[in-house]
Amino acid sequence: MKKCIITVVGKDTVGIIAKVCTYLAERNVNILDISQTIVDGYFNMMAIVDVTNAKDEVLTMAKELEEVGKTVGVMIHCQREEIFEKMHRL
């Protein structure tokens, strides 16, 4: 399974998760785990997604998600899981 980590940080507003999830569903990306909190009005979300059968390359999705983020005023990062796995697991 090829996984990516999506993180969203920014000022809270209506429909951030909806935007992200719609985008992911359209690319056939499955969400494995998702969590979200609000700290002092700041939206903070992390999702682990399965991109094995995604219609687009990770590279393309990372760029497009960044753009999606800009439309709602938040920062969205989509990174391959390995960078976290390598750093935090032996």
Where do contacts with other proteins occur on this chain (CB under 8 A)?
Answer: 5, 7, 32-33, 35, 46, 48, 58-59, 62-63, 77-88
Taking the least distance from each CB to other proteins, the nearer of 5 and 72 is: 5
Taking the least distance from each CB to other proteins, the nearer of 27 and 80 is: 80
Are 43 and 11 in contact by the 8 Å Cβ rule? The answer is yes
Q: What angle do CA 84, 85, 87 make, to 5 degrees?
A: 65
What span, in angstroms and rounded, lies between the C-alpha atoms of 26 and 11? 25
Taking the least distance from each CB to other proteins, the nearer of 26 and 33 is: 33
